[in-house]
Structure 1
Amino acid sequence: MNGQTDQRAARTDAQQTPVPEDPATDHTRDTGDDAAGAAPRERPSPVRRTEEQATAKVPAQSHATGRIPAARDAVGTSAGSPLTDRYVLRQRIGADPSAGAEFWRAEDTVLRRPVGVTLLRRLPADDRSDDPEGTARAGEMIVRALRSGCFEHAGSARLLDVLAPGTHGLPADVLGAAVAEWVPGRSLAEAVADGPVRSHRAAKAVETLAAAATEAHQQGLVLGCDHPQRVRITPDGRALLAFLLPRPSVSAADDVRGLGGILYCLLTRRWPLSVADAARAGLVAADRTPAGRLRAPSALRPGVPLELDTLCSGALGQDEGIGRVHTAAAMHRMLTDVVAEDADQAFFPPVRDGAPSDPDDVWQDSDRVPDTRDDPNRRRNLRIGLSVLGVGVLLVLGYLGIQVGALFGAGSGGPPVVVNPPVASAPATPAPPPAQAASTALTPSTVSVFDPTGDGDNASDVGQVLDGNPATAWRTQQYYQPFPALKEGVGIMASFDGVQPISRLTVESATPGTVVEVRSAPTADAPLERTDTITTVTLRGGETVIPLDGAPPTGHVLLWITSLGGGGSDNASQIGEISFERAIQ
C-alpha cells in the first residue's frame, strides 16, 4: 500500500489513476501464468485491494492485538516527527475533533515540497488501548478518500497520497492520513483579522469553492467544507478546500451550509455554525436573536448587498420554502450572477459596504487619508494659532483707536499724542541656539507575522515583542537550510494609528547575526514588492539601536528577516522586544 501511494505522489505531473465507484466491477486479466494453456483468472485491481485492506483487515487486527501495527521506531505525532519514510510534520494548523482529524503542514522529503496532511488520531488518550469506534471511523474515511482520488478541481487541493491503516512507518497514535497539495495563503481567521472582506471579493472567493462542491456532488462525493480550518484563502483571494478526509456523517447538505458559513464569515468576521469550531479556529461565534435565528449580515454590516444577505440566510437554513438554498449548484449560480453584475458595474463607484478598499482597487475610499481630527498635536497648534491671531487683532484695534483719537483731538490745542515713546533699550542678549529635535516613545497599535509564502511562523507569539518582558520572545521556525532555500524571508509588520515620523528603532534579540531589512509599507497586508527599504542592519546579541533619521513618515513598518541566525541545520531567529521613537518637531 505504501509503495503504491508513494508512487502516486511522485508522479505529480502525470494523470492519477481514476478510482471506480464500484470496485467490485473493476477487474483485470492476468495472463502471465497462462502460457501453458491454463485458463486466465481474474484478480482484483490495486484500488480494490486497498479498500479491502482499509475495511476488512483493520478490524481483524484491532480484534487480535488491540492496536494498528506500526514501525518499532515510530513516535507520537508532533512537529518534526516523521510520517512513514517520506513525510515530516512541520506545523499543526488545526483540528476537527468530530472526525478525530488533525491538519498539518508537512514536507515531502522526496520531492522537497510542502504538502497538507490530514491525520486520523486514535480517540483515547492511551493509543495502546482498544479503539474499535475510532478504527471503524478511520477505515470508512480512508475508503471514501480512495474513491475520491480521481476528483480534481481548481477549488480543492489535489489528493496525492493515502496512508491506510497498517501502513509501515505510521506512528502508533495515527490510524491513517491523506496527503494533498499544499494551499499557500492564509487561514480563514487570518483573512478577516484586519476587517471584513469587500462584498464582491467575498462572493468571488466562495464562487470557486461552490463550483468544486457542485462537481463533487454530481460525482456522488462530498467535500466537508463546513469546518473553518479545512478552508484556506489563496493570495489571489480564492477559498480552497485545503485539508481532505471529511467525517463519515458529512453530507451534501452540510457542504451547502459550509459554503454559506464561509460567505457569512467573510462578510461579518463571525462563524455561524459550530461555536466550538469557531473558538478552535480563532473566530468569533455569530450572534443570534432571542428567537435563536442568526442575525443577517446587513444587520451587522450595513451596505451588504441584498443578494448576498439572502444567499447567506438561505444556505444556512434560516429561510424556509422559496428562500431556502438546497444545493451547491444553486449557490454557485447565484454567486456567479453576483460576480458578473459587479463586473458590469466596474465603471461606477461601489456602494459603501463597511469594508475599506484594497490598495489595488480602482475606486479608493476617501477615508483612507489619516483622520487627524483627534490628533493632540493638531489641537495644540490650533490653540497657539488662535492665540496669536487674537493678540494680533487686539494690537490692530488699539492702533486704530489711537489714530482715531489723534484725528479728532488735533484742533483742541492739547498736547500732542505720542504713540510710541522712546524707551531705553537693554543690552541685547544673543538668542539661544535652536534645540535639537526631541523624541518620544511610540507604541504600535498592532503587530503581526508577515509571511507571504507560509502561514506565519509562530503567529500566536508575535504579541510578545510588545509586552515589555525581554524573557518572552517571538521566534521563527527552525529551518534546516538558510534563506532563501525554502522562502525569501519572514518578518514582523508593526502598524500605527496614522502616519508617524519615526526617528529610531530598537530591537532586542538573542540571535546575533540575523540580518533585518527595515521597510515602510502602504498597508499592513501589502505585498513585499510594494514596500520600500529604509535601511539594512545586522542584529547584535542583546539590544540593537537602529537610527531612522530622514526616513519618510509611515504608518506601517516591516522588519523583514533575510538571513537567520544560527547555521548548519539550525537556522532560526528570535526577537524579544521592539520599540519605536517618533520625532517631536
Structure 2
Amino acid sequence: MAELDEGLKASGGIPQVLTFGTPSVGEILAERYQLEEHIGNDSLGRQLYRGIDVILRRPVAVVLRYPGGERAKEMLAAAVAASRIVHPHLVGVYDAIDEGERAYVVREWVDGIALREIVASGPLDAGRSVAIAWAVTDAVAALHGTGIAHGNVHPGTVLVAHDGRVVLTDARTDDLATPETDIRAIGAILYCALTGYWPHAEAGVYSVPDGVRDASGALASPRQVRAGVPAHLDSLVADLLNPDLPLPSAESLAGELASFGSFDDEEMAAEEGGRVDFAAFDSAAQSTAPPRPAGRKLAVGVVGLLVLALAGTLAAARVLGDPATPETPPSSSPGSSASQQAKPAGQPTELKLDASKVRIVDPAGDRSETQDAANAVDGDPNTIWKTDRYTKAEFGGKKPGMGVWIDLGDAKQVVSVEVVLQTPGADGELRTGASDLGSGAQGDQQTVQQYTVVGTPRLNMGTRTIFNGPEQKTRYLLVWITKLPKEGSSGRYRVAIGEITVRVQ
C-alpha cells in the first residue's frame, strides 16, 4: 500500500513504522466496530478506515497502528485526552484500544473537506478565513484549559464539515506539543486561508506550497501576496508568525478574532450568483457562535463555510493529518512531475512588463542617467539600470531622488511590487498616479509631486524588497529612490536596480 505524506515534517524526519498485516473489510474490531472501507495510510504507519458502530449504528473513523504497545502510546494518550473534552469544534473521540500487535482509535466520522483541499482551488476571503481561525482557536483554548496542547494544527487537521462546522482533528500530545506551537500554528492557518500558502519556516514543513519569500528568507505578508486583506488582520498574522514577539493565550486570541468578524450575508452568496439558504443551519451556527461585540456577524461566516464544504464531496475524515489519496494514484501526463504543485487559483500572477512603457524619472538631473530603463524589467536581474556615482547618499545633495516609472497598459489590481537591488542599503518608496504626466524635467517634477506614496517608505532596503500594492486599481507606478547605498569600498554612492517584478490579481 502506498504511504501518504502526512502531517508536519519534523527536523530530522519522522521515523517510519512498518505495518504488518491489514484487516479485511468487514472485520469487526472489539466486537463493535465494523470496517467498511480502507481510506489510506500515513507516514507513521497508521491505517485509516471508514467504519460503522454496529451497536449504535453510526459511522465512525477507525485509525489503526501496527504495532500497539509502547509504539502506540502517544496516539492512544492523545485520543484519551481528547475524549475528555466535548467541544463543537473538536472531533469526537469514542474509543481507544491497545491489542498489543495493534492499537486503534475510534472517532467521529466527519463528512466535509479539509482546509488543504479548499485552498488548493484558491485562497479565502477575510471573513471566511477569520471564521475558520476562530473556530480552531476556540477548540485549542478548550484543550489548553485542561492542560493539554494539540500539537498537530495544520491544513490537513482543520476540516469544514457539510453541516457547516469547522472541526479540528488528530491531537498529538507528544513532547513537542506546547501551547506556543499551537498558537503559532493558528497564525499559519490564517496565513494559509488568506493566501493559499503555508509558512514552512515558521510553522513546520507541510505539503501545501511554502509562502513567497525574499532573498533573506523573510516571509511576504498576506497583503503582499494578494489584494484585499485588511491591514489589521495582516498585522495580526505577522505578529503570530514572528518568533521574536510574545504570543497571546488561545483564549485571548479567540476574543481578538471574534472582534474581526464583520461581514454580511450577501458576501456568502454562491459564485453562481444565487443566494445561499442558511435557514437550515442557523441554530447550529448560533450555538457555536463566539462572544462578540454587538453588530458582528462571525456566526454567519462559520455557516457560510458550508458553501465551501458543499463545493467538494470529500469525506473530511479521510485525512489523518493530510488528505488521503487513492491507493492507485492517477497516471501522470507526459512531462509532468510529482514534485510540481499546482498554484492555487486566484493567486497573484507576475505581469510581463512592456519595456517600451518604462522610463527613468529624474526631475533635477541632466537626463544623462535615463538610459537603460528597460534593463529593470527584462526578467534578468543581471542586466541593470544604475545611477551615476555620488559623493553623498542623498544624490550628492543635488536631487530629491530618482526612480523607475512603469505604465501597466491599463488599470490593474496590483498586489505587490518586488525590487531587486545589486547593493542593499537604499531608501525607497512605491508611488502611484492616475495619469502619464510626460517625460522631461517638467513632466518628471509633476510626476513626483502628484503621485502618492503607497504604504510606508522603506529604509535601508535589502537586495530584495517587496512593496504592497495600492488598495485601488492603478495603471501607473513609480519606484522612487530617495537615498543611495554605499557601493563597496569606493566611498561613493549609487543604486543599481536589477529587476522590478509586478504581481497583479
Question: For this structure pair, what is the TM-score category when the shorter chain's length is used for normalisation?
Answer: 0.3 to 0.5
TM-score of the pair, normalised by structure 1: 0.41
Larger proportion of helix:
1
Question: Which one has a bigger Cα radius of gyration?
Answer: 1
TM-score (norm 2): 0.46
> Which of 1 and 2 has higher RCO (CA within 8 Å, sep 6+)?
2
